[in-house]
Structure 1
């Protein structure tokens, strides 16, 4: 099971509280995790990734195991601890302004 932590506004939209738990078949990558997330919670389509390009939205960041994975290729394997459910995959809302 993959553990995913979403920012509050996306948890509200998906109607969940706390972590989201998902089964991901095959390689555990950003793409496979986000595909599984959007399949289970279709209301999140277009909120984390752009509809057409499937690129990460500018004001969201991805973290796992203390590392910023936001600029990693979507096909890159996530850390083994994420695949085993030991560590969560975090979707973080970036803070902007000044």
Structure 2
């Protein structure tokens, strides 16, 4: 079971709790986790990833195990602690402004 923590604006849009648990087939990757998240909460499609390219949106970041995974290959396996549910996969809305 993969634990995913969502930022407030995505929780409001989806009606999800702060943390959701997802079944991900096989070895979990960013792409598989996001596929499962979008399958459960279709209203999130296009908010985290571009719907055509499936690339991460510029102002969304991914973290796990105190590491920024935002620029990792989306098909790279997630850390074992995320795969076994000990640590969450965090979706974070980046801060911008000036």
TM bin, normalised by shorter chain, reads: over 0.9
Q: Which runs of 4+ in 1 moved over 4 A?
A: none
Give the CA deviation at 1:84.
0.4
What is the CA deviation profile of residues 36-88 of structure 1, one whole-angstrom value per residue up to 9, with x for unaligned ones? 00011101000000010000000000000000000000100100000000000
Runs of 5+ unmatched residues, structure 2: none
SS in 1 for 2:70: coil
RMSD: 0.6
Distance 1:16 1:35 in 2: 16
- Residues matched between the structures, number: 98
Q: Whole-Å Cα distance in 1 between the matches of residues 55 and 17 of structure 2?
A: 25
Q: Secondary structure at the match of 1:53?
A: coil
Gaps of 5+ in 1: none
TM-score normalised according to structure 2 size:
0.98
